[in-house]
Chain A
Amino acid sequence: MNEPMAPVLEFDRVTKEYRGFWGRRFRALGEFSLQVQPGEIFGFLGPNGAGKTTAIHLAMGFMRPSSGKGTLLGAPFGQAAARRRVGFLPENVALYPRRAEQLVRFYGGINGMKSQELRKRAGQVVEMVGLQDDIRRNVSRFSRGMLQRMGLAQALVNDPALLILDEPTSALDPVARVNVRELLVQARAAGKTIFLSSHLLSEIELLCDRVAVLHRGKLVRLGMTAELLQAGDETEIVARGISAESFTGAVTRNGTVTMIVPAHQQRRIVENIWTSGGEIVSLLPRRRSLEELFLQVVAEPHRGSAEVIQ
């Protein structure tokens, strides 16, 4: 029997509270537990203020949890040695004003990479993010999108086993966004794990194997992307040879009749179509978009415990 692989990132009942000037406490994250498995692209969603960045900063050791614990590549949060194999892109990229290549070499150097190795690698990662023509330019003159790509280059310089990306494509144009997406898919194919926090739901939907939704510091959804997007209680039936007026809520599209029915009524409606002389074209569990799921989750009243699908 195969041993389950150790998670590359694990939060174990982590709580983070901030204290205001007058001692007033604000809970950014409450009893948050999550495991990210090796080799997956994990989507981390939530509205503004949900606690996503706090969770990432805790994992990176920028702050300490108020309670609970966690591990990053098997080491407790905050251990510098574990970060040697991590690439991190913060939400707001802030870089020292250097030439692009020098900057990448600086970040690689402080991560313990040797100069010879870095000379080669710096050029490679700058090319990977599409900035090879600007390699000798000072990053202080870069646009926001270029800075974001530079941020990605510094995250990739050490060939990390785990990439933690906080809004990696928010400032990018559509072409650059597609490039970054391809880069992430290639990284997964190379066996790397990617922890991706983003507001671009379509991107998460396209890329991620699993998704977690955080709301008000609590984990409210967790599961395989495909499973989460299945609206399991509804079925979409497409038929032809019938009149749409005979079925409640049915619409005619391109000569076929489409209707969305509750799953428990599916059998009865299919029989009705057949008895009416119609023919079933397709019958599929209805799939919702991540946006629909997200809006549904955010609209739900705040619950004490997380609903975990998987």
Chain B
Amino acid sequence: MKAVFLIAVNFVREQRWPILVMLLWVLLLAFLGLTAEPMRHRDDLLFVFKQVAVYVIAFGVFFGSSAIFNDRRSRRILGVLSKAVGREQYLSGLVIGVTIASAIYCFALGLTGSWTLGESGFPVWQVWFLMICLLAACMLAGSIALMFSTFLNPFFAAGATAALMGLPAFASYTSGSSAWGLVIPVDALAAAVLKASFDSPATASWLPVVFALLETLVFWIIAARIFSYVDIAVSVE
């Protein structure tokens, strides 16, 4: 467990610059909160909040799809896996690392959002619930991207992840059944954030969050299975 934690922290440390860049978006929301009148511009604030919030899912996919590739290309992966670290532990470290990186963003956004939107009349607890939805979506998106990146180039892994995440949304749209929302519920969780309004702040339940966590586990297992067959010493370029 210690190895998993260290690999996760190491991943976050390696990604500190992208994380700092992400946090600039949060600063933008904070700047708007300082300059705008909360009640008068509340719809604008909520719009910016929602836009800034969903970016983190894209970052989750980016982090997940490039994590293994970066370590293999730099050959640093050999140093890690030459120790008593199993490949499934290494992947767990990366999934947790992606989650921590996303959680930093979600937490900063939650703080800023609860301050700016709270003053506009949006329930603060609902801001944090939306952040939990977002974090669950990031975890799942990151683990799917990681799974694809065990055998695909990061660019294709990100594309495959986007396609897989979009499939249930497409099925839900064509069949009209909301049950599809629980199959890879990234879209459903992102929609919960995007559909939030001052009149109807809560549109999601805990169910998609629970499903997202369970499916993260499933994709981690699939990723570990595939990764156990990968020749990691072979050049990725």
Contacts and interface: CB of A to CB of B under 8 A. Distances in A.
Given A94-B74, A96-B14, A63 B79 contact: no
Interface string B199-237: 000000000000000000000000000000101111000
Given A62-B232, A96-B14, A107-B79, 4 more contacts: A63-B233, A83-B83, A83-B85, A110-B7
Contacts of A92: 75
A81 B84 CA distance: 5
A80 B231 contact: no
Interface of B is mostly: helix
Interface string A76-107: 00001111101010101011100000000011
A60 to B, nearest CB: 6
B236 to A, nearest CB: 13
7 contacts: A53-B233, A62-B81, A63-B234, A90-B75, A94-B75, A110-B85, A112-B84
B6 A18 contact: no
Given A63-B234, A109-B3, A110-B6, A90 B84 contact: no
Interface of B: 2-3, 6-7, 10, 14, 74-76, 78-86, 89, 229, 231-234
Contact of B76 (A80, A88, A96): A96
B83 A62 contact: no
Contacts of B229: 64
Nearest to A89: B82
A167 B127 CA distance: 56
A111 B80 CA distance: 9
Contacts of B76: 94-96
A53 B231 CA distance: 13
A61 interface: yes
A154 interface: yes
Contacts of B6: 106, 109-110
Contacts of B80: 110
B86 A95 contact: no
Contacts of A63: 231-234
Contact of B83 (A53, A64, A94, A111): A111
A57 interface: yes
A80 B86 contact: yes
A90 B84 CA distance: 16
B231 A64 contact: yes
Interface of A: 18, 53, 57, 60-64, 80-84, 86, 88, 90, 92, 94-96, 106-107, 109-112, 151, 154, 158
A110 to B, nearest CB: 4
Contacts, number: 76
Contacts of A158: 83
Question: Which of B7, B80, B82, B234 lies at the interface centre, i.e. has the most chain A CB atoms within 10 A of its CB?
Answer: B82
Contacts of A90: 75, 78-79, 82
B234 to A, nearest CB: 7
A230 to B, nearest CB: 36
Given A94-B74, A96-B10, A106-B10, A61 B81 contact: yes
A230 B141 CA distance: 63
Nearest to A84: B84
A52 to B, nearest CB: 13
A112 B82 contact: no
B194 to A, nearest CB: 37
A152 to B, nearest CB: 12
Contact of A107 (B2, B14, B83): B83
B85 A80 contact: yes
A95 B79 CA distance: 7
Contacts of B86: 80
A13 B136 CA distance: 48
Given A62-B233, A96-B14, A83 B82 contact: yes
Contacts of B231: 18, 62-64
A112 B14 contact: no
Please list the 7 inter-chain residue pairs (A to B) with the smallest Cβ-Cβ separation, ordered nearest first: A84-B84, A88-B82, A63-B231, A80-B86, A62-B233, A94-B75, A111-B83
Contacts of A111: 3, 83-85
A138 to B, nearest CB: 13
A228 B83 CA distance: 34
Contacts of B89: 80
A60 B84 contact: no
B84 A62 contact: no
Nearest to A108: B83
Contacts of A83: 82-85
Nearest to A18: B234
